Amino acid sequence: MDNIDKKVDFIKWIINTIVIGLLTFFFNWILQERKQGIEEIKTYDKYVELVTNVNGLAERRLLAEFFSYVTPSPKLKEGWKEYYDTLNKQYLNRLKESKYTIKTADTATYQGKIKYDKAVEMKEMLENVGVVNPIISKKNAKAALEWETKGFRALLNKNIDGAILAFENSENSYNSFHQVYEIALYLKRYQSALQNPNSSQWKEVYLTLISEYSWKMPSDIKRVLAEKSR
């Protein structure tokens, strides 16, 4: 009888241990999710004015696209993706309308000239928009793109110092351009290890860049990085 009681007590102890462990894990997971959500919402608060700006379609579209890539929470990321899809349809329709008006407006008439000028202005506003600085100079955007391209080329050539410098120059040319700032920060973590072109760390870095830092990354660069990460 004593043996049976001991076995029952032992089974109860195991069950209680497992249940308590599962409950602890569950509540920790809930708290972590809630904490992560709160931190993300705090970040979004900085952009409330931009997101709710009725006339800022291009700004809201670019912002939604950015967060649909970098948001850690799967649920919030999915929400940003859906929001981006909605805005992108509106953006493409408005851009199409502007181009059509530019092409068909009768500039020989006063009203036609006004329609043409408004369409040109709208097209430029839609196409020349950034997240932090909505109206940017083409010179800065061009320089940022050139430096970003140099950064990716340096990465493919396993020149870590040159890559970091290029991405930093891209960020300095146009703040918040694509993900050059985040890429530069990430690469600095492994700058010492990546001095060796034969380091196995390179494959891991290439893979991480594709999975976490690929917003606005050129498709040809993404393809080569994927090949080199294997």
For the chain, what is the radius of gyration of the CA atoms? 26
Is the pLDDT reported for residue 197 higher than 70? yes
Query: 193 pLDDT band (50/70/90 cuts)?
Result: very high
**Under 8 Å between Cβ of 141 and 131:** no
pTM for this model (two decimals) = 0.48
**Under 8 Å between Cβ of 201 and 194:** yes
Q: Which residues of 38-71 are buried (b: 16+ CB within 10 A; e: fewer)?
A: eebeeeeeebeeeeeeeebbbbbbbbbbbbbbeb
pLDDT tens digit sequence for 89-98: 988 898 899 8
Cα–Cα distance, 137 to 142 (Å, whole number): 9
Beta strand segments in 102-223, E: none
Is the pLDDT reported for residue 220 higher than 50? yes
Identify which has the larger pLDDT, 9 or 219: 219
Tokens at 185, concatenated: 């920060």
Is the pLDDT reported for residue 139 higher than 90? no
Cα–Cα distance, 165 to 179 (Å, whole number): 14
Residue 127's pLDDT is what? 74
pLDDT tens digit sequence for 40-53: 565 555 555 555 54
Q: Where are the domains of the chain?
A: 2-70, 138-228
Residue 206's pLDDT is what? 96
Helix (H) or strand (E) holding 130: none
Is the pLDDT reported for residue 138 higher than 70? no
What whole-number percentage of the chain has pLDDT above 90?
Answer: 25
DSSP string, 44-102: HHTTHHHHT-TT-HHHHHHHHHHHHHH-SSHHHHHHHHHHHHHHHHHHHHHHHHHHHHH
Mean pLDDT calculated for residue range 13-39: 57
* Cα dist from 96 to 14, 46, 58, 91, 99, whole Å: 66, 31, 14, 8, 5
Is the pLDDT reported for residue 80 higher than 60? yes
For residue 216, report the phi and psi dihedrals to the nearest 5 degrees.
Answer: 65, 10
Is the pLDDT reported for residue 119 higher than 70? yes
